[in-house]
Amino acid sequence: MIVVFGGAGFVGSHVAEYYSTRGEKVRVIDNNSRAHLLKSDEPDLSNWDYVRGLQNVEAINASILDADDLADLVHGSDAIVHAAAQTAVTVSVDDPREDFLVNAVGTFNVLEAVRKAAPEAPMVFCSTNKVYGANVNLLPVQRVGERYAFEDEWTSGVPETLSIDLCEHSPYGASKTTADLYMQEYGWLYGLHTTIFRMSCIYGPRQLGIADQGWIAWFGRAILNGLPITIYGDGFQTRDILYVSDLVAAMDRALERGGSGEVYNIGGGPNFTSSLVESIAELENLTGKRAQLSYADWRPSDQRIYVSDIRKAANALQWEPIVAPQEGIKALADWLSVESSG
């Protein structure tokens, strides 16, 4: 049995789908709190109905903050993916307490449940590139056309050895760093089979993006529906982007390999990158509609560029991303078009 915390979310729903189609029994654990956590007026920002309709999936409405319930939920599991989280930097600034409870305390609760009830089960944790905080902004950067690029020895991207200390993170970055470190510690101290994915920008169908989270999906939704888009900074901010099926493939390899506190930077890497304005232009071409753009000041903890150095993951997991940005953004745009028309 595969247990997926946050299984009604974007990433979690794809994990559940992947193992369901392989004939595995899947237990999805989610409490449909995404709209609440993101302070969104939209009533439903989950894929709950979708995952409940999958074969071999048991969907349970439960919260990672209910510590007493979690041991029973993970008992008997063969593998665990922990994708439950508060995911927006802006929300963490406005409500740091709830951000900390979900990301730090919730992850601690999951670890304790696994330690007690499923200590042999391999587990992948969805961490974030935000653990590196403002240290990324100390790396040498140049402007190249409509994007930023790393210079000198950093052209392969940010490695796992970049310091996560002595810099601004945002409350979200701090809470995820706490969870990241606990995942490592429970691997080293208690021998749990934990693997930490410090993820860059993941995108694809069923990403219910809003202005504060899921930027490629949000841009597509806004363009299709004539909604205004605010660009914070100059729009040349560049990220490596990873199509969700490539992420799930990496997770599967990590669960097969196991680990004890192993850390990987996971993203599209230097070959699969896009800037904000480049992604908007691509979505405009695909939809035949124009974005309604305005610009505002940079936000705290914004990174001009983040690109993952994925060489460690490529070597250890025998994995590499295969869905190029043009192909992936088209697949997302096609899904958004159907979603908007429905």
Active-site annotation, residues: 172
CA distances from 211 to 102, 145, 170, 221 (A): 21, 25, 18, 10
Terminal-to-terminal C-alpha distance of the chain: 34
Residue 132 has φ and ψ, to the nearest 5°, of -80, -15
- Residue identified by tokens 């196991």 is 258
DSSP 130: G
Cβ atoms of residues 23 and 56 within 8 Å: yes
Neighbours of 216 (CB within 10 A): 27
Burial class (CB in 10 A: 0-12, 13-18, 19+), 163: exposed
CA distances from 71 to 74, 100, 163, 182 (A): 5, 21, 34, 18
Neighbours of 337 (CB within 10 A): 14
